Amino acid sequence: MMIPHRSIAIAFALMIGLTSALAEEQKAEFSGVEKSMSPKAFEEAGLNKLTPEERERLDDFIRRYVNSANQEAANAAVEHAVKDNKIASQPQVIESRIVGPFHGYNGRSRFTLENGQVWAQSQQVTRAYPPVDSPPVIIVKGSWGWRMYIVGGGDIRVSKIQ
């Protein structure tokens, strides 16, 4: 049985909304390369030679690049969820945020969500990601189990602990 188009649209809308919210947060949080780097690293990279206008253009480029990477990840997550759920009658979707910073997973990672749930990684994969503070997540149940889609951090199979 196929997933109703309405369910696909809802999952897609959730991912787009979460990605947009994260992009706005990142724009507000990213203080620019000069403040993000040590003075020595900033100088060694030759960035001190840029005018303030050129540095601002670089900062804007970095913000847009991160946003587009997150958008691509969100789109891939939705596509993956839709493809894998084709045999499910209707997916169950949980929307929340990871409490605190997310840096990736190590094969035994646990994720505490703002909604009070705790999820554990159920596949032995290790991946590091650039730190994201309290990233939005969508957890989708399919015929194969649960999969957590982390904005800015890919996706992974998980199981609920509490």
Q: What is the pLDDT of residues 120-156, one digit of tens each?
A: 999 888 888 888 888 888 888 877 789 888 887 888 8
Calculate the alpha carbon distances from 131 to 33, 57, 114, 127 in Å: 16, 23, 18, 12
Q: What confidence score (pLDDT) does residue 34 get?
A: 81
* Between residues 157 and 35, the one the model is more confident about: 157
Q: What is the pLDDT of residue 2?
A: 41
Contact 99, 82 (CB under 8 A): no
C-alpha span between 73 and 81 (Å, rounded): 12
Sign of CA dihedral 127, 159, 5, 152: negative
For the chain, the average pLDDT equals: 75
pLDDT band at 107; cut points 50, 70, 90: confident
